[in-house]
Amino acid sequence: MLLVLVLAPFAGSLAAICIPTDKATPAAWLSGGVALFCLATAAGLYPVIASGRVLRYDVHWLPEFGLNFTLRMDGFAWMFASLVTAIGLLVVVYARYYMSASDPVPRFFSLFLAFMGAMLGVVLSGNLILLAIFWELTSIVSFLLIGYWHHNAHAREGARMALTITGTGGLSMFVGLMLLGHIVGSYDLDVVLSSGDLIRSDPLYTTVLALILLGALTKSAQFPFHFWLPHAMAAPTPVSAYLHSATLVKAGVFLLTRLWPVLAGTDAWFWIVGLAGLSTLLLGAYFAIFQQDMKGLLAYSTISHLGLITVLLSLGSPLAAVAAIFHTMNHATFKASLFMAAGIIDHETGTRDMRRLSGLFRHMPFTATLAMVASAAMAGVPLLNGFLSKEMFFAEAIETHKYNILDTMTPYVATLASMFAVTYSLRFIHSVFFGPQPHDLPKMPHEPPHWMRAPIEFLVFACLVVGIVPSWTIGPFLHTAVKSVLGDATPVYSLAIWHGWNLPLFMSVIALVGGVGLFLIMKRYLATSVEGPPFFRRLEGQRIFERVLVTLSWKWARSIEMRAGTRRLQPQMRILVAVALLAGAVTLLTQGFKPAAIVLRSIDPAFALIWLIGMICAVGAAYQAKFHRLAALVLLGGAGLVTCITFVWLSAPDLAVTQLLVEIVTTVLILLGLRWLPKRIEDPNDPEIMTFSTRMRRLRDLAFALFAGLGMMIISYTMMSREMPETISSYFLERAYSEGGGTNVVNVILVDFRGFDTLGEIAVLCIVALTVFALLLRFRPATESLETPEQQRVQNAFDDEHPHRKTGDSIAEYLLVPSVIMRWMFPVIGMLSAFLFFRGHDLPGGGFAAGIAMSIGFILQYMAGGTRWVEERLRIHPLRWMAIGLVIATATGLGSWLFGYPFLTSHAQYASLPIIGKIPLATAILFDLGVFSLVLGATVLMLIALAHQSVRAPRAQHVRAARAAAKEST
Amino acid sequence: MELVLSAAIGVLTASGVWLLFRPRTYQVIIGLSLLSYAVNLFIFGMGRLRVNAPPLLEPGGAGGLLTHTDPIPQALVLTAIVIGFAMTALFLVVLLASRGFTGTDHVDGRE
């Protein structure tokens, strides 16, 4: 059940994103259904939870590291889960009417459900690491939701700020939780919760505490990290109501409460949490008074109330913890309804500025009444739920918990902050609903649709019944939640409204009277003042944050880039090679590397002669590559051929075959490319060649090159002269036939033992081919190479001179005899390819070689007959071949799942199976067929895409010429 | 044998690295190809050089390193050859596109 509860919102989120963007209603129904389902699921679990049981759901993930997917639900988690789902449901109903049809509504609901899932994950996690994962998920989804109107700069900025702050906090919390797990020896929440003494006495306790608190305080927008919350108000109002009052910001408080039994009670806890909470409580309330934006006021009030809960948790007494849990619920109810009311006003009037709004009571009496009741709850007026938890707070504030100045201050600060709360609540109501008729509003205000108001009605009703008959309504649920956190330490507490004439009541009266008085004094000023509180206006956390961000990510980064970076490739290459050389040299020299003694005896003169040619080719290619590209290509081919001969010589026929074939294809490819690469003509007067610095640069590069070459020579010689150590090669040699069913060990390794690598490799080949194809689709050749090549021009000129010849005849007749032979070679090459393919498992060959051989067959046809000729006669669909190849290879791998074996298990080795026993190698050869098809497709695709340019380019030229002519004529 | 091959690897590497530092795109492509020969031969050399050793097993039999060539470096190099081809093709097309786009064949896209 727990798993369903967490997964349902995510499933709903995936489903919602599939709904077309203009279909708002189905998305709302879907989200509402999911929220209702989750709420019902949670409600159904209540009897079990109420009996004191803890539900658990375990999936082993990496049990060796203590990482398990554990979900756990106790009374407290249940309370939060119901809060998340219930308010989620109400907000969905509200959002259905709030969201405008022009917004991509399904995306909103999708993100909304994802958030609900992440939040449920946070509260239900039974493993610290899992908790951290869901925690980060809430940050990310919150980022996306705040930035939902991403065309709005404020929204983007607010989203980024929220993510930066909560993300940083989340990261430190993650470290803290890992340390906590390290101290306890387990990440399991149950184990952690039962080892409080161990944690508090550990030397790492303070570090853990600081790190976790950083995470919790940033998330709950506690001073000095509070400033992201007002900026997050750029989000759509349903998001503010849900995330930034009822759920997301409560995650920090949730974590504090969750870990309260193991972390609280020490001086460090008291000071950090208490100081943060008290300052947030006071400053938040103070700032809220001076906001002109309705949502801004509510945001600061939220900050202040979160501060109140934090203060309660800091006190370390069980009664205070009860009050904290109680206030968490109460705040969620009244604040969510207030946000929704603010959203309605914004929606109906078009502004949230309290200086422009007034007298709305006449236009929307119902909404006004509801907002007034909710504000009264926020202010702590008796007979409402806010009053109850505030009384409990006052009672706790008076109690002495620790003998220090902070504890002495608490009651005074509490009263003052409550006074402020009364003032801003009054201000909210008064300036919006009372006063003269509103004028010049963007829209004419009127009551919203009934169902848009219904969620507020429900929440306000909850405020009332909880406020009037607490012990009948919220009592049992609260008790279950409290019991699960405090366990045996659960104190006796009373939810009654009337506790007699006592000090807390007196404080409430002071706060109420003082707040009203303060409002009367400040009314005039507030009606016209600018945004933000006096004195603090300039000292904004946001500015500091931005300055830090600019310095870190822009100024410093820029200056480092200016000093240490370069956009030029050559210095980068030099650094790269230099680092590699240095790393190699240092390692070898410090590890006692001894070059092997040179033995001249065993040199085979023929082999040496071949390589002499090879080396000359290599150096020649290096020398000619700048001005004589064709020569360099020929020389490169020479070096390749010598490499190929080496493979034959040294008993590696597979490599020789593949190398030879690849050599051919590469040469053809580069030849095709050379057509589009304008010649470089050597200019002896080019001053660049002669300068001193150029010479020095070349000398330095030469030194690098020689050093690298010499190093490689020494290393490879030493390595090759050593005895062969025992490697896993023997494993493959021993099992290639008995388990892989083939005598060509190299091929068996490729298609069987390491089949997964090969699958990855052909995927890379596929991606490269597609990239080449895509790049060439919009290819613009160099302007110098656009003309018809010189040879063609000469041939065409020859045709034009002779009256009995048509233009193009020479080109058609060119290489007539070889082209006939090439055409006839096609079936022969096809046969060779099939031969290579089928012998692959037992003899040199295989899918790679066969694929490339076949593609050579195709390219020969292109060379012999020309592009048009071939494509009139043959159907060539390289993309399709690639797709088929990839599908065959993957399906072969997946096929082994049907038999219960791991991915890509070859079936040839299970010869005892009746059917497969008759045809061993069955799946390996299928896999190789996939490789063949893909290699063929990819190679042909690349070659043809390049070859097609010569067909395309004249056409483009033609069009351009026609356009130019048209322009001239007009 | 070993000496010749290691000298060859050295020369191929030196030529490749030299070309890698050159300013023209075509030089870099040729350099990378030369370097990949060197690296392939180097990896191949890890299995030691064997003349006339059987690369294939007898049907039904099992092989050992004493009698047979080392299959792992060969399998690695086989993969490397194909990937090297793909890399050359990609760079070639990028080179051509960059030449057409920027009007120069300098590696930085400007002289």
Concatenating the DSSP letter of every residue in A264-291 gives: TTSHHHHHHHHHHHHHHHHHHHHHHHT-
Q: How far is A934 from chain B (nearest CA, A)?
A: 12
A891's tokens:
């399906």
Per the prediction, chain B carries an average pLDDT of: 86
pLDDT band at A914, cuts 50/70/90? very low
Asked if B20's CB is within 8 angstroms of A615's CB, the reply is no
For range A659-680, the mean pLDDT: 88
Query: Is this complex's ipTM strictly greater than 0.90?
Result: yes
Total H helices, total E strands in chain A: 42, 2
Do A935 and A837 fall within a single domain? yes
List of chain A residues whose C-beta atoms are within 8 Å of the C-beta of residue B9? 712-713, 716
CA distance B35 to chain A (A): 10
Sign of CA pseudo-dihedral A613, A614, A620, A621: positive
In chain A, the residue whose alpha carbon lies closest to the alpha carbon of B72 is A729
Residues A752, A717 share a domain: no
Tens digit of pLDDT for each residue in A306-351?
Answer: 999 999 888 878 888 888 989 998 898 889 999 999 988 888 888 8
Distances (CA, A) of A783 to A777, A802, A958, B23, B26: 17, 31, 14, 21, 18
Q: Is residue A675 part of a domain?
A: yes
Residues 733-792 of A with CB under 8 A from B: 733-738, 743-746, 749-750, 754, 757-758, 761, 764-765, 768-769, 771-772, 775-776, 779-783
Nearest CA-CA distance, residue B109 and chain A, Å: 9
Domains of chain B: 2-50+69-102 (1.10.287)
The answer to whether A720 contacts B2, with C-beta atoms less than 8 Å apart, is yes
pLDDT of residue A819: 83
Q: In this structure, are A838 and A928 located in the same domain? A: yes
Q: Residue A55's closest CA among A41, A66, A67, A65?
A: A41
For B51, which residue in chain A has the nearest alpha carbon? Answer: A650
Same domain as A929, residue A809: yes
Residue A636 has pLDDT above 90, yes or no: yes
Q: Is the model more confident about A674 or about A810?
A: A674
User: Which backbone phi and psi does B64 adopt, to 5 degrees?
Assistant: -145, 165
pLDDT at A213: 92
Rg of the Cα trace of chain B? 19
| pLDDT at residue A348, rounded to an integer | 84
Looking at the partner chain, which of B20, B47, B99 has a beta carbon nearest the beta carbon of A782?
B99
Which residues on chain A are in Cβ contact (under 8 Å) with B60? Answer: 737
A chain contacts of residue B21, beta-carbon cutoff 8 Å = 570, 573-574, 577, 701, 704-705
Whether A911 has a pLDDT exceeding 50, the answer reads no
| Residue A713 sits in the same domain as residue A770 | no
For residues A64-70, average pLDDT: 82
Residue A696 to chain B, least CA–CA distance (Å): 13
Task: Please report the pLDDT score of residue A917 as a whole number.
Answer: 38
Are B55 and A744 a contacting pair at CB < 8 A?
yes
Kindly state the average pLDDT of the residues A75-94: 91
pLDDT-derived band at A909 (thresholds 50, 70, 90) equals: very low
Given this model, what pLDDT does residue A957 score?
64
Q: List, in order, residues 6 or more apart from A586 with CB less than 8 Å away.
A: none
Report whether A222 contacts A307 (CB < 8 A).
yes
**pLDDT band for position A635 (50/70/90)?**
very high
| Predicted local confidence at residue A684, as pLDDT | 64
Which of A348, A306, A580, A326 minimizes the C-alpha distance to A447? Answer: A348
B71/A736 Cβ within 8 A: yes
In B, which residues are within 8 Å of A780 by CB distance?
A: 97, 100-101
* Closest Cβ opposite residue B92 in set A640, A652, A673: A673
Q: Does the beta-carbon distance from B15 to A670 stay under 8 Å? A: no
Average pLDDT, chain A: 84
- Say yes or no: A717 and A758 in one domain: no
Q: Which residues neighbour A884 within 8 Å (Cβ) at sequence distance 6 or greater?
A: A930, A933, A937
Question: Do A768 and A710 lie in a common domain?
Answer: no
> Is there a contact between B48 and A724 if contact means CB atoms under 8 Å apart?
yes
C-alpha–C-alpha distance, residues A221 and A308, integer Å: 12
Residues A700, A753, single domain; the answer is no
Residue A957 and residue A902 share a domain = yes
Q: What is the pLDDT of residue A124?
A: 92
Chosen from A712, A722, A727, A941 to mutate, greatest number of chain B CBs within 10 A:
A712
Mark residue A72 as left, alpha or beta (left: phi above 0; alpha: psi -120 to 50; beta: remaining).
beta
Distance from chain centroid for Cα A353: 37
Least confident of A241-250, A688-697, A765-774, A821-830: A688-697
For residue A686, pLDDT beyond 80: no
A615:B8 CB<8 A: yes
Q: Does the beta carbon of A732 lie under 8 angstroms from any beta carbon of chain B?
A: yes
Please check whether residue A621 touches B, CB under 8 A. yes
Residue from A579, A616, A651 to probe the interface with B (highest B Cβ count within 10 Å):
A651
| Residue A941: partners with Cβ closer than 8 Å, 6 or more residues away | A769, A770, A772, A773, A878, A879, A882
Query: CA-nearest residue of chain A to B65?
Result: A730
Which residues from chain A sit within 8 angstroms of residue B24, using beta carbons? 625-626, 680
A911 touches chain B (CB under 8 A): no
User: Do A746 and A707 share a structural domain?
Assistant: no
* CA distances (Å), origin A553, targets A170, A354, A546, A548, A558: 20, 37, 10, 8, 8
- Given pLDDT bands bounded at 50, 70 and 90, which one contains residue A920? very low
How far is it, in rounded angstroms, from Cα A14 to Cα A504?
Answer: 50
Q: Are residues A784 and A709 located together in one domain of the fold? A: no
**B89 has a pLDDT exceeding 80:** yes
Q: Does the pLDDT of residue A449 top 60, yes or no?
A: yes
Of B67 and A329, which is predicted with more confidence? A329
Q: Which two tokens stand for residue A906?
A: 């070859």
CA-CA distance, A757 to A397, in Å (whole number)? 66
Instruction: Read off the pLDDT band of A922 (50, 70, 90).
Output: low
- Interchain contact A615–B (C-beta under 8 A): yes
Q: Average pLDDT in the A676-686 region?
A: 73
Averaged pLDDT, A683-701: 76
* Interchain contact A608–B (C-beta under 8 A): yes
Read off the pLDDT band of A910 (50, 70, 90). Answer: very low
Nearest-CA distance B43 → chain A (Å): 9
What is the span of the domain harbouring residue A607? 596-679+694-721
Find the angle CA(A397)-CA(A372)-CA(A530) to the nearest 5 degrees.
Answer: 80
Phi and psi dihedrals of B54, rounded to 5? -70, 130
More confident residue, A384 or A686: A384
Whether the predicted pLDDT of A48 surpasses 70: yes
Alpha-carbon gap, residue A118 to A140, rounded angstroms? 10
* A842 plus A764 within the same structural domain: yes
Is A600 part of the contact surface with chain B (CB cutoff 8 Å)?
yes
Residue of A669, A706, A714 with shortest CB distance to B14: A706
Cβ atoms of residues A394 and A507 within 8 Å: yes
Asked if the model's pLDDT at residue A521 lies above 80, the reply is yes
Q: How far is B83 from chain A (nearest CA, A)?
A: 7
Closest to A95 in 3D by CA, of A19, A135, A51, A148: A148
Contact call for A733 and B1, based on CB within 8 A: no
Q: Quick one: pLDDT at residue A318? A: 85
Of A574, A659, A783, the CB nearest to B21: A574
Identify the H or E element spanning A938.
helix A922-969
- Measured CA to CA, the distance from residue A616 to residue A634 in angstroms comes to 12
- Across the A:B interface, residue pairs with CB atoms under 8 Å apart total 325
Token reading at A776? 């060439």
Are the beta carbons of A662 and B85 separated by less than 8 Å?
yes
* Chain A residues in contact with B33 (beta carbon < 8 A): 636, 640, 666
**Assigned token pair, A801:** 């001179």
Task: Note whether A666 contacts B22, CB cutoff 8 Å.
Answer: no
pLDDT attached to residue A27? 86
Instruction: Tell me which of B78 and A502 has the higher pLDDT.
Output: B78
Under 8 Å between Cβ of A78 and A86: no
Give pLDDT tens digits for A210-220: 999 999 999 98
Examine residue A850 and state whether it is found in any structural domain, yes or no.
Answer: yes
For chain A, the domain total comes to 2
Q: Judge: A677–B5 Cβ closer than 8 Å, yes or no.
A: no
- Residues of chain B numbered 21-60 and touching chain A (CB < 8 Å): 21-24, 26-27, 29-31, 33-34, 37-38, 40-42, 44-60
Q: Is the pLDDT of residue A810 over 70?
A: yes
Among residues A71, A72, A82, the alpha carbon closest in space to that of A46 is found at A82
Distance, in Å, from the CA atom of A749 to the CA atom of A101, rounded to the nearest integer, reads 58
The three-state secondary structure class of B4 is helix
Residue A410 lies in a domain: no
Q: Which residue of A has its CA nearest to B102?
A: A782
Whether residue B17 has pLDDT greater than 70: yes
Sign of the alpha-carbon torsion through B85, B91, B95, B96? positive
Tens of pLDDT, residues A552-578: 777 887 888 778 777 888 888 898 999
Which amino acid appears at position A349 of this protein?
T
Has residue A365 been placed in a domain? Answer: no
* pLDDT on residue A969: 66
Nearest-CA residue of chain B relative to A601? B1
pLDDT at A692 over 90: no
Q: Which chain B residues are within 8 Å of A687, Cβ to Cβ?
A: none
Query: With contact defined as beta carbons under 8 Å apart, do A319 and A396 qualify?
Result: yes
A953 interfacial to chain B (CB closer than 8 Å) = no
Question: Residue A688 has what pLDDT?
Answer: 58
Angle of helix B25-46 relative to helix B2-20, nearest 10 degrees, comes to: 150
Query: Mean pLDDT, to the nearest integer, of B35-50?
Result: 90
| Mean pLDDT to the nearest integer, A271-284 | 90
DSSP letters for A191-250: HHHT-HHHHHTSTTHHHHHHHHHHHHHHHTT-TTSTTHHHHGGGS-HHHHHIIIIISHHH
pLDDT (average), residues A133-141: 92
pLDDT value of residue A488? 78
Calculate mean pLDDT across residues A386-393.
86
Under an 8 A CB cutoff, do B11 and A615 touch? yes
User: Does the pLDDT of residue A933 top 90, yes or no?
Assistant: yes
Confidence grade of residue A173 (pLDDT, cut at 50, 70, 90): very high
Say how far apart CA A238 and CA A733 lie, in whole Å.
Answer: 66
DSSP tally for chain B: helices H, then strands E: 3, 0
Which band of pLDDT confidence, cut at 50, 70 and 90, is reported for residue A702? very high
Chain B residues within an 8 Å CB radius of A776: 93, 97
Q: Could you give the C-alpha distances from A264 to A84, A401, A603, in angstroms and in order?
A: 25, 12, 79
pLDDT in tens, A410-437: 888 888 999 999 999 988 888 888 888 8
Considering only CB atoms, which chain B residues are within 8 Å of A706? 14
C-beta pairs of A137-142 under 8 Å, 24+ apart in sequence: A138/A248, A138/A251, A139/A163, A139/A166, A139/A167, A139/A170, A139/A219, A141/A111, A141/A114, A141/A115, A142/A115, A142/A166, A142/A232, A142/A243, A142/A248
Question: Among all residues of chain B, which has the CA nearest to that of A616?
Answer: B11
Q: Is residue A183 part of a domain?
A: no
Q: Is the pLDDT of residue B35 over 90?
A: yes
